[in-house]
Amino acid sequence: MHNLRPDLKRACTMAYTPSLPSFAAIVVAAGKGLRVGGQIPKQFRNWQGKSLIRYSVEALSEAGASPIAIVVADGAQDLASEALVGINGVIFTHGGDTRQQSVLNGLVALEQSKPANVLIHDAARPHLSQDVIARLVSALEEHSGAIPVLPVVDSLAVAGDGDVMAGAAEREALRRVQTPQAFRYMHILAAHHAWSGEKIAGDDAQVLQARGESIALVEGDERLKKFTFAEDFVQTGSAPFRIGQGIDVHRLVDGEELWLCGVQIPHDKGLSGHSDADVALHAITDAVLGAIGDGDIGTHFPPSDSKWAGARSAQFLEHAVKLAHDAGYALGNIDLTLICEAPKIGPHRSAMREAVAAIIGLDEGAISIKATTTERLGFTGRGEGIAAQAIVSLQRL
């Protein structure tokens, strides 16, 4: 390494990646994620094609973490299993009343495998790089703990009563702390056991530091920020609006019920198909899936799967709306056209709008249902089937 320019010396150091000491990991995913909004906790929401938690668990797995204990709230186990399917070495354990108790549960879940080291991470920080993991684990050779930190760049004010500045703080001595935080396993386990009954801990480093142990500060990563608000899920540059369209056709036959937009329509024939053959809801469902670029109704509910035989089509649409929500979009409006000679749609229009509004949770004013004939031309004109076309708009949450 002698006689190298400093920049080349740095490049050589970075290219050398020694194998890391072995370590296990805990990913805390027990939070309710209420600040983000949405129907499911933020750590299980879809973000750019994957569940948020999957990003960091994949990064930990790639770095060699084993086992990886996932701490989940009661009732969220199915969401967690689905989000992490196919990743080896993952085990699940229950969350506690506080974050500190959740971490302790995770540490106890690792007791059988007795790891030398453990990384403890928040599920809502997806951008976990291999470099950060390597810096943390390497620091454990000399310290009981290691945490990723960033400098404070803004100046700091101390707030007094009535929102008046009471003084200033020295930013030079302060650091912003991220996760994962790395520890020698037996040390952090003992510290968490001893902490029981203490005030709520800010993080695991505070629990270990309270026992006077040495915790290294290593370089963090600005991209490792925690997803806190709904805006964090919005992909930079993603469109504020999206449009989708869907088309469907079903055959009219004797002896079947006729369902349109979730409403049963009295008619001498009905639509045949694998589900309830609601051609209108199928077209709307495909339009929603089209707007988020997530396949079509056949991808999500294959006709080859017997569990969808006779299914209510409302559940297909409900699922598509949920997928759109997970992708960060809410429905704006729907414009549906039914194409048939009979039955007459007009007398049922209001009931159909009401039914679609109830399925989607949208105002009836945002749902248009139109009908046309094809002047007795073609299969719709001959009464052999009904066709439906839907266009939907989505707006960013």
Nearest in space to 207 (alpha carbons), one of 71, 91, 102: 102
Stretch that binds Mg ion, among 128-136, 207-215, 277-285, 343-351 (CB under 5 A): 277-285
How crowded is residue 141: how many other Cβ atoms within 10 Å of its Cβ?
11
313 lies in the binding site for Mg ion (CB under 5 A) = no
DSSP 68-111: EEEEE-TT-HHHHHHHTTT-TTEEEEE--SSHHHHHHHHHHHTG
282 lies in the binding site for Mg ion (CB under 5 A) = yes
Residue closer to Mg ion by CB (options 28, 297) is 297
Question: What CA–CA distance (Å, rounded) separates 149 from 346?
Answer: 65
How crowded is residue 131: how many other Cβ atoms within 10 Å of its Cβ?
12
Residue closer to Mg ion by CB (options 274, 322) is 274
Question: Residues 244 to 273: which contact Mg ion by CB under 5 A?
Answer: 248
Residue closer to Mg ion by CB (options 106, 385) is 385
Measured in degrees and rounded to the nearest 5, phi and psi for residue 148 equal: -80, 130
Question: What CA–CA distance (Å, rounded) separates 103 from 185?
Answer: 12
Residue closer to Mg ion by CB (options 31, 246) is 246
Per-residue binder mask for Mg ion (CB under 5 A), 207-246, x = binder = ----------------------------------------
DSSP 285-348: HHHHHHHTT---HHHHS-TTSGGGTT--THHHHHHHHHHHHHTTEEEEEEEEEEE-SSS-SGGG
54 lies in the binding site for Mg ion (CB under 5 A) = no
* Nearest approach, Cβ of residue 279 and Mg ion (Å): 6
Tokens 């005030």 — which residue? 199
Residue closer to Mg ion by CB (options 213, 248) is 248
* Count of residues touching Mg ion (by CB under 5 A): 2
* Nearest approach, Cβ of residue 360 and Mg ion (Å): 18
Stretch that binds Mg ion, among 98-106, 120-128, 235-243, 279-287 (CB under 5 A): 279-287
Residue closer to Mg ion by CB (options 47, 301) is 301
Interacting residues with Mg ion (CB under 5 A)? 248, 282
